[in-house]
Amino acid sequence: MKEQRYLTVTALTKYIKRKFDADPHLQDVLVKGEISNFKQHSSGHMYFTLKDEKARILAVMFSGSARSMKFSPENGMKVLITGSITLYEQSGQYQIYVKSMQPDGIGDLYLAYEQLKEKLEKEGLFSTAHKKILPKYPKTIGVITSPTGAAVRDIITTIKRRYPIAHILILPALVQGDNAKHSVVKAIEKANEMAEIDTLIVGRGGGSIEELWAFNEEIVARAIYASKIPIISAVGHETDFTIADFVADMRAPTPTGAAEMAVPHIDELMERVLTRQTRLLRVMKERIQFDRQRLNRIEKSYAFRYPRRVYEQKMEQVDKTTERLIRGAEKVFLGKKETFTNLHRRIERNSPNELLKQALLQHERLAKQMNRAMTGIFSEKQKDFRQMIVTLEALSPLKIMDRGYSLVYNEEDKLVKSIEQISTDDPIKVRMSDGSLLCKVVEVQGEENK
Amino acid sequence: MADKVSFEEAMKKLEDIVERLEEGDVPLEEAISIYRQGMELSKLCHDKLKDVEEQLTQILTEDGKKEDFSIQEEE
């Protein structure tokens, strides 16, 4: 044998790996088994062995696939797996790469639950805006559950203990089995036809997911959503939520819890009544005390202590007002009287007698005025005249002659002003201030002779 | 007459009265009158709670009738 015919381990392993990878059946495997040697790496990858009584296979689930899982795998858990088979070359071991994994036994139900939950959530059936408020003091509580069993007993005893004045009406329903959903829906509808029911508890005791399944049914969810009466869901399983829990207005972990939510405790109510009564008493006491103090204050006031003063003051006020009234009236009267007198006077003044008298008076006055004016004018003129005489006297030739001047007249008694008018031997008359001289001209001398 | 008032109504009225009085601007005569009313309501609520007439538990039968119900032990 030649050496070339020997394969390396790597080559052989690669060859085998190709065989695995090429087989379509091995690329899409559905396998179920039990988990053992479960380890989750800090990276999120999961490593475990899947086994049954006779065989085992290594399994790897990478974090990417593991993240979308709805449960946490544990050792001993039976699971359903989809994945592909491949060979891990370093160890020469074949293993399954897990794409998805779900707990065995509930597989379809689990899926259905998730799908329905998602659908209803999208539709808004879980919206808090739609949740109804439970009545504070319910009168009739409808209980939809099996009439036998722990749930109904727990609900009844709890309500009776806390709030015995509430009326309980059991609406019997099947709570497990295929007909349970229809039975529960019918009971919810029936309850909504009964006017007296103001609170509904819908539920049952704990059980496996199959037993509780009716509460994960769509028609039940829709019936709860459609109910006009507020519903408390009480499906006895503390950890898992049913669809009914999401839709219900309140969710109680147990039937007992639901009963506690449904009714107040009578002792608390008693306490509340007493508190109100105390407040009522206190507020009234305070009120009366306050009013009494006010009254005391008022009684101590001036008006109460000296009532006469109030009265006297009023009297004074009356007097003063009366006085003002009289004064006012007088003023009005006097005013009118004065107006009358004035008018009367005007009429008198305008009578013919009066007018005549006035005219005479005026005439007299005018005459006097005229006389006075005439006398005035006369004396004025006299004064002027005297003045003129004085002036005249000053201008008189006689006055000038007094100062030594003489006037010469010719024969015809004409004033001689020039030598031209005179010839030698002409007779002339020289008038002096105190008389005249009759003279004869001896010689006429001209000015040039001087 | 007062007995026809439900506990809830009585509590509500009582609460309203207390609040009105605590606000303090109620005329005295009215205050006294509603105080009396309040005390009556308080007594009524108290009595309703104290002298509890235990209500019967009933069950709705198939044919829509109500029958008295008593708890059966689980079989």
Q: Where are the domains of chain A?
A: 9-104, 110-264, 272-308, 405-441
Closest CA to A141 of A244, A226, A259, A256: A259
Closest CA to A66 of A42, A96, A44: A44
pLDDT tens, residue by residue, A410-445:
888 888 888 888 888 889 998 888 888 899 888 888
pLDDT tens, residue by residue, A8-49:
999 999 999 999 889 988 999 999 999 999 998 988 899 999
**In CATH, what number does A110-264 get?**
3.40.50.10550
Q: Do domains A9-104 and A110-264 have the same CATH topology?
A: no
Share of chain A above pLDDT 90, in %: 34
Superfamily of domain A9-104: Nucleic acid-binding proteins (2.40.50.140)
Does the distance separating the beta carbons of B6 and A139 come in below 8 Å? yes
Q: Is the pLDDT of residue B61 over 80?
A: yes
CA-CA distance, A46 to A81, in Å (whole number)?
Answer: 13
Query: Do residues A126 and A105 lie in contact, with contact meaning Cβ atoms separated by under 8 Å?
Result: no
Q: Is A184 on the interface with B (CB under 8 A)?
A: no
pLDDT band (50, 70, 90) for residue B38? confident
Does the distance separating the beta carbons of A149 and B55 come in below 8 Å? no
On chain A, the residues whose CB falls within 8 A of the CB of B71 are 152-153, 156-157
Q: What pLDDT is recorded for position A199? A: 95
CA-CA distance, A289 to A297, in Å (whole number)?
Answer: 12
Alpha helices in A253-410 (DSSP H): 255-262, 266-299, 302-305, 307-349, 352-395, 397-402
* Locus of tokens 């939950």: A117
Closest CA to A201 of A149, A253, A126: A253
Q: What pLDDT is recorded for position B57? A: 82
On chain B, the residues whose CB falls within 8 A of the CB of A164 are 52, 54-55
Q: Is B4 on the interface with A (CB under 8 A)?
A: no
Give the CA angle between residues A351, A356, A360 to the nearest 5°. Answer: 150
Q: Is A170 on the interface with B (CB under 8 A)?
A: yes
Q: What pLDDT is recorded for position B31? A: 84
Which distant-in-sequence residues (6+ apart) come within 8 Å of A17 by Cβ?
Answer: A86, A87, A89
Q: What pLDDT is recorded for position B75? A: 42
Domains observed in chain B? 7-60 (1.10.287)
Q: Is the pLDDT of residue B74 over 50?
A: no
Q: Is B25 on the interface with A (CB under 8 A)?
A: no
Q: Per-residue pLDDT for chain A (450 aa), expressed as one digit of tens each?
A: 566 788 899 999 999 999 988 998 899 999 999 999 999 898 889 999 999 889 999 999 998 888 777 677 888 888 889 999 999 989 889 999 999 888 876 556 676 788 888 899 999 989 989 999 999 889 899 999 999 888 999 999 999 989 888 899 999 999 988 899 999 999 999 999 998 999 999 999 888 777 888 898 999 999 999 999 999 999 876 567 889 999 999 999 889 999 999 999 888 888 888 898 898 888 888 888 888 888 888 888 776 777 777 677 778 888 888 888 888 888 888 888 889 889 888 887 777 887 888 888 999 999 999 999 889 889 999 999 888 888 887 777 777 778 788 888 888 888 888 888 888 888 999 888 888 889 988 888 887 654
Q: Is the pLDDT of residue B66 over 80?
A: yes
Lookup: tokens for A272: 């509340």
On chain A, the residues whose CB falls within 8 A of the CB of B74 are 148-150
Q: Is the pLDDT of residue B1 over 50?
A: no
Give the CA angle between residues A93, A32, A42 to the nearest 5°. Answer: 60
ipTM: 0.73
Disruptive mutation site among B8, B18, B53, B67 for chain A (greatest number of A CBs within 10 Å): B18
Query: Would the pTM of this model clear 0.80, i.e. be above it?
Result: no
Q: What is the chain A residue with the closest CA to B52?
A: A165
CA-CA distance, A8 to A14, in Å (whole number)?
Answer: 10
